[in-house]
Structure 1
Amino acid sequence: MAELPHPLAAFLVAEIRRARGAAGMTQEAFGRAAGFSASHVSAVESGTRGLTLDFIRGADRALNNGGLFERMVEQLGVPSWFLPWLDAERTATQLRCFQPCLVPGLLQTEDYARAVIRCDETLSDQDVEQRLASRIERQVILTRDRAPQFIAVIAEAVLRRAGDDFRDVMAGQIKHLITQAERTNISAHILPDEISMHVGLTGPFSLARSPDHRWVGEMENQLGGVVVDTDADVDTLLSRWETVRNEALPRRQSIELMKEVVNSWT
């Protein structure tokens, strides 16, 4: 399962350790009740092993607290449904993303990402900055050693969604997208507006291929999202990926279109 991002993980580990101590439980007793070895508990508490949703749920069981720590994860800005995708994304050898509405999160600039996150009026400034930091932190997977191959298909309308009050942000975003698309492990393909009807109109989705060659899919919606890994669901998303990818422009033509859009504003 996915490791939670720091500093959220550090906070939760400290709270779990404090609760374990208050309950008078040794690491061995706690681990037995949570479904983990004492050495695993020790590694999580010392920070040498990542905190996962499985461990959090185990802690809730061991402490019989009614799911307190899992609810804390939700309240602190990391929805539990998203954790399996974070794990798949972090370990992927290949990533595929189709976006008809936004620049993919892994390719967003800070200014663009902040503007997108601020669209949720229920979030405080602190919530926005916390989610922004987590999103930018995820992007390091594209520049690490043995980075995954990342291919994105983005609707042309995404590039042109720039009113007067947003044009500078969008120009910076497209320039960043061009720079990223010129990296050897990243491709960005634009789906032209002239392709008016296609299977991708039903919504955005992403795919991650693991080191053992299994695919995991992720789809977001207004109420959250869903991560799928069954053969039938993954096969459907892979088929739809091939369809939208085949309709998109080649890599070099896509970069030229992005440059054309930015130049048209100057």
Structure 2
Amino acid sequence: MANVNEFRHILRLRRTEKGLSQDALGSQVHVTGSQIGHYETGRSLPPDDLAVNLDRALGTGDELRRLAEQARGEAVAPWMRPWKLNESRAVQLRWFEHSLIPGLLQTEAYAREVISAGTHTEVQIEEMTRERLERQTAALERAHPHPVPLTAIIGEAALRVGPSALMKDQLEHLVDIGHRQTVHVRVLPFSAGLHPGLTGAFVLATLPDGGTAAYIEDQVAGRVCETADKLRHLVLAWEMICARALPCNQSRDLILRVIDEHERAGVAHVHP
């Protein structure tokens, strides 16, 4: 996180050169002094518009905006960058997850919780969460040519793993977004037994030229697959998983039942 360290060092240096306290600088850019403190300790990074305001207040040209942008870029893994382009221009996405809610369907709280479960720093967690929300907007909320049709098949285990209050909100979001014409949420129930998806999650993107690209992620790194033999394997795995998954309406009913379970578990936790 070299750029994070450089950003926080330069911000503190330029502020002290101006003779400003954290509170005074925060007042000029309309944030609290404690928030300036978070930037100077590397706990978080300012969004682009705030970094511009910091440059203006401190007379640093575009130095802070540029350093903050570079530091945010460190939070996006190199192998994810080409996939983001595929994701944002795809004409169809098919996404299978066996133990997590797909990234494009995650609430902010759930995304942050999942990312926090890894080995990331606080800055990385915040920036990776922000980047994930931006990907959602780029794919599902885009105006041109239209939002991408997304079919998500989710293993039943993913509905049940996590704090009850968090999962209740996340699953309610799944139900809500599943009412969109372009989003189809299906659940692969425990009763499906053994299936090809148990070896790992993957995403298939149909591109504007009719081609297909796939994304696979493991414990170490993700990778984009575009070779014909690997794509054939993943498309076949998708078809086999799809044949075992519940239809959308039955999936919604199952999700609603699990929401009730989380709600009851939350009440029981509050009132032992």
1:235 aligns to 2:232 (yes or no): yes
Query: Partners in 1 of 2:249 and 2:258 — Cα distance?
Result: 14
1:233 deviation in Å? 1.1
**For 2:179, which of 172, 182, 187 is the aligned residue?**
182
Q: Deviations over 1:188-238 (max 9, x none)?
A: 100001122001110000010111110000000000111011111111111
Query: Partners in 2 of 1:137 and 1:84 — Cα distance?
Result: 15
1:158 aligns to 2:155 (yes or no): no
1:262 aligns to 2:254 (yes or no): no
Aligned twin of 1:3: none
- 4+ runs of 1 displaced by more than 4 Å? 72-75
Tell me how large the CA RMSD over aligned residues is: 1.8
Counterpart of 1:184 in structure 2: which amino acid?
Q
**For 1:107, which of 105, 124, 130 is the aligned residue?**
105
Following superposition of structure 1 onto structure 2, how do residues 115-134 of structure 1 map, counting pairs within 5 Å? 115-121=113-119, 123-134=120-131
Query: Partners in 1 of 2:201 and 2:229 — Cα distance?
Result: 18
Counterpart of 1:143 in structure 2: which amino acid?
E
Aligned twin of 1:65: none
Query: Partners in 2 of 1:105 and 1:243 — Cα distance?
Result: 22
Query: CA 1:74 to 1:168, structure 2 compared with 1: closer, same or farther past 3 Å?
Result: closer
Aligned twin of 1:226: 223
1:127 deviation in Å? 1.3
Query: Partners in 2 of 1:196 and 1:74 — Cα distance?
Result: 41
**For 1:97, which of 86, 95, 98 is the aligned residue?**
95
Between Structure 1 and Structure 2, whose CA radius of gyration is higher?
2
Query: Partners in 2 of 1:135 and 1:201 — Cα distance?
Result: 24
1:144 deviation in Å? 2.0
**For 2:241, which of 229, 232, 244 is the aligned residue?**
244
Counterpart of 2:123 in structure 1: which amino acid?
Q
Aligned twin of 1:60: none
1:143 deviation in Å? 2.1
SS in 2 for 1:138: helix
**For 2:166, which of 154, 164, 169 is the aligned residue?**
169
TM-score by length of 2: 0.68
1:75 deviation in Å? 7.3
Counterpart of 2:223 in structure 1: which amino acid?
V
Is the 1:73–1:80 contact (alpha carbons within 8 Å) kept by the matching residues of 2? Answer: no
Is the 1:159–1:261 contact (alpha carbons within 8 Å) kept by the matching residues of 2? Answer: yes
Query: Partners in 1 of 2:125 and 2:174 — Cα distance?
Result: 22
Query: Partners in 2 of 1:73 and 1:184 — Cα distance?
Result: 37
Q: Deviations over 1:34-59 (max 9, x none)?
A: xxxxxxxxxxxxxxxxxxxxxxxxxx
1:101 deviation in Å? 1.1
Q: Which is helix-richer, 1 or 2?
A: 2
1:80 aligns to 2:78 (yes or no): yes
Structure 1 residue ranges without an equivalent (≥5): 1-7, 12-71
Query: Partners in 1 of 2:195 and 2:129 — Cα distance?
Result: 31
Aligned twin of 2:205: 208
SS in 2 for 1:80: coil
Aligned twin of 1:30: none
- Give the number of aligned pairs: 193
TM-score by length of 1: 0.69
